[in-house]
Structure 1
Amino acid sequence: MAQNTISSTSDQSYDFNVTASGIGGILYDFDISLMWKGVDQRFKNADMLLKSIDLSSNHLTGDIPPEMEYLIGLISLNLSRNNLTGEITSNIGYLKLLDVLDLSRNHLSGTIPSSLAQIDRLSVLNLSNNQLYGKIPIGTQLQSFPASSFEGNSYLCGEPLDTKCPGEEPTKSQVSTTNGGDESSIFLEAFYMSMGIGFFTGFVGLVCSILLLPSWRETYSKFLNTLILKVLKWWKQ
């Protein structure tokens, strides 16, 4: 139903009724009764029947219905490129089978629910270009997504973004960059130090050899005399 305008005509009236029951606050039955042109149809366990919802690019407004969390059979949810506001439902973690979640390019605000980190099957996530803020919940699943999944939310912080939260240690990428710079600096210092020591040792060895060994002194004197004569000869030319 992406990129559509949803409407109904006057001769097509229907009644949509959702009933739910449970024990101790735990939902165990979710039925839908649909009245369409005088015909009553009932769907049992509708929460497991619906697998995919794509309402992207429909100019939808308002909040995401909290009842969405009851669709526990949902595998793909795409509400991107609308004008949705409000917060992401805090119990979105109930959708354990969710594989794709795209809420990008809306006007959603608030923090990212911590329950989102509990969806182990999630392989595609896009929350970019909203007004979300706060720390990205810690969880192996969320930190495995690229930073582009969260970009466009000016006040989001924490991994996988490079922006660290107040009072938090630098992110891994920042630490690795810093460590890389430190290692490079240490390498250069050691390199220049070894060059200096090598030059000094060679120079001292040469001077000591010339001063202490007669054969070296004689050879060095002949070398200097020859060099001076060649320079004078070149100068006269």
Structure 2
Amino acid sequence: MKIDLHTKGQQLEFQKNLKLVRSIDLSVNKLSGEIPVHLFKLIELQSLNLSYNYLIGEIPEHIGEMKNLESLDLSHNNLHGNIPQSMSNLSFLSVLNLSYNHFRGQIPLGTQLQSFDAWTYAGNLELCGPPLQKNCTILDNTEKVEENEDDGFLKSLYLGMGVGFAAGFWVVCGSLFLNRAWRHSYFRFFNAVVDRIYVTVAIRLHRFR
């Protein structure tokens, strides 16, 4: 198995006896890019610390296969996405720090992940659910209420515009239809406007000849 990591513009390779490794600490090393998938396949690993780097990407679902993992620190990176549900199966995990990343959604339910302090997840503004005080249900309902309010406002606006146009149209047409004097005045005005436009266009065309 080979693992590639990027630090300070260089690519480092680790490929000897990785299956025997029990602890990896690469914190504060200016590592960048995504965490190599193979790293999460070291099922004998007990401690992994990648904190204070510039790592991106998501935590893969098969992290749950690291059954012997006791300590995991991914804090102060640029990781994102949901926390994998499989992490709730890490029964030996006693130290966890996912703070100050960009994780979102609900923290997977299960006694394992809820047993940690809220500071474990601090700095992830879009995370919700226990042990955080931010309730996912309230957030979902709030978003739905805001969407419903926006939809209701737009529907009311369009309906009002339609009713207003129809009312104005029939008021004008009805007045012309019922009042003979207004109808004659309207058509005289309309004919005068058409004649004026015709004369203006004819004069300008004559100038171009």
- The alignment's TM-score, normalised by the length of structure 1, stands at 0.52
Alpha-carbon separation, structure 2, partners of 1:7 and 1:91: 28
Q: Paired residues, what number? A: 134
Preserved CA contact (<8 Å) 2:8 2:31? no
Q: Which residue of structure 2 aligns with residue 202 of structure 1?
A: none
Alignment pair present for 1:94 and 2:74: no
Residue type of the alignment partner of 1:110: G
Alpha-carbon separation, structure 2, partners of 1:118 and 1:104: 20
Q: Alignment partner for residue 110 of structure 1, among 81, 91, 97?
A: 81
Quote how far apart the aligned CAs of 1:167 are.
Answer: 5.2
Q: CA 1:139/1:51 → structure 2, altered by over 3 Å: closer, same or farther?
A: same
Alignment pair present for 1:160 and 2:138: no
- Write the deviation string for residues 10-35 of structure 1: whole angstroms up to 9, x where unpaired: xxxx997xxxxxxxxxxxxxxx5x5x
CA RMSD in angstroms comes to 2.6
Q: Alignment partner for residue 98 of structure 2, among 106, 118, 127?
A: 127
Preserved CA contact (<8 Å) 1:64 1:89? no
**Segments of 4+ moved more than 4 angstroms:** 4-8
Q: CA 1:162/1:15 → structure 2, altered by over 3 Å: closer, same or farther?
A: closer
- Write the deviation string for residues 214-233 of structure 1: whole angstroms up to 9, x where unpaired: xxxxxxxxxxxxxxxxxxxx
Could you tell me which runs of 5 or more consecutive residues in structure 1 were left unpaired when the two chains were aligned: 9-13, 17-31, 35-42, 169-237
- Write the deviation string for residues 164-197 of structure 1: whole angstroms up to 9, x where unpaired: 00358xxxxxxxxxxxxxxxxxxxxxxxxxxxxx
Q: Alignment partner for residue 120 of structure 2, among 140, 145, 149?
A: 149
Preserved CA contact (<8 Å) 1:50 1:74? yes
Q: CA 1:15/1:103 → structure 2, altered by over 3 Å: closer, same or farther?
A: closer
Q: CA 1:129/1:70 → structure 2, altered by over 3 Å: closer, same or farther?
A: same
Alpha-carbon separation, structure 2, partners of 1:115 and 1:95: 10
Matching of residues 190-205 of structure 1 within 5 Å: none
Percent of aligned pairs sharing the same letter:
50
- Write the deviation string for residues 140-183 of structure 1: whole angstroms up to 9, x where unpaired: 11000000000100000000000000358xxxxxxxxxxxxxxx
Residue type of the alignment partner of 1:64: I
Q: Which residue of structure 1 aligns with residue 30 of structure 2?
A: 59
SS of aligned partner of 2:39: helix
Q: Which residue of structure 2 aligns with residue 80 of structure 1?
A: 51
Alpha-carbon separation, structure 2, partners of 1:108 and 1:57: 15
Quote how far apart the aligned CAs of 1:89 are.
Answer: 1.5
Where relative contact order (Cα < 8 A, 6+ residues apart) is larger, the structure is 2
Q: Which residue of structure 1 aligns with residue 207 of structure 2?
A: none
Q: Which residue of structure 2 aligns with residue 71 of structure 1?
A: 42
Residue type of the alignment partner of 2:96: L
- Write the deviation string for residues 117-150 of structure 1: whole angstroms up to 9, x where unpaired: 0000000000000000000000111000000000
Higher-Rg member (1/2): 1
Alpha-carbon separation, structure 1, partners of 2:10 and 2:34: 19
Preserved CA contact (<8 Å) 2:100 2:121? yes
Q: CA 1:164/1:69 → structure 2, altered by over 3 Å: closer, same or farther?
A: same
